[in-house]
Amino acid sequence: CLTMGELVHLALRVGYLGDAFHGSQIQPDVITVQGELQRVLRSLGWWKDDAHTMILGSRTDAGVNVRRNGGLLTLERSLYEKIGDRKLVRAMADRLPDHLAVLDATEVSPGWNPRLADHRVYRYRLEGMEGWWAEDPERFQRHLDLFVGTHDVRNFARMEEGKNPMRTVLSATPWTVGGRTVGFEIVGHSFLWNQVRRIAMAVHSLELGRLTYDEVHEALHRPEVAVDFGVAPAEWLVLWDVVWEDLPVTPSPERTMTWQAPPTRAEGAERTMRRRWSAAASSEIEALLHHEWSALGRLHWS
| Residues that are catalytic | 61
Rounded CA separation 293/285 (Å): 12
Q: Coil, strand, or helix at residue 129? A: coil
Q: Residue 21 has what DSSP assignment?
A: S
Question: What number of CA atoms fall less than 13 Å from residue 73's CA on the CB side?
Answer: 27
- Total residue length of the chain: 302
Q: CB–CB of 13/6 below 8 Å?
A: no
Q: Residue 224 has what DSSP assignment?
A: T
Rounded CA separation 97/109 (Å): 30
Kindly report the number of other CB atoms within 10 A of residue 20's CB atom.
17
CA diameter of the chain: 67
Q: CB–CB of 132/207 below 8 Å?
A: yes
Q: Coil, strand, or helix at residue 93? A: helix
Kindly report the number of other CB atoms within 10 A of residue 52's CB atom.
18
Rounded CA separation 293/289 (Å): 6
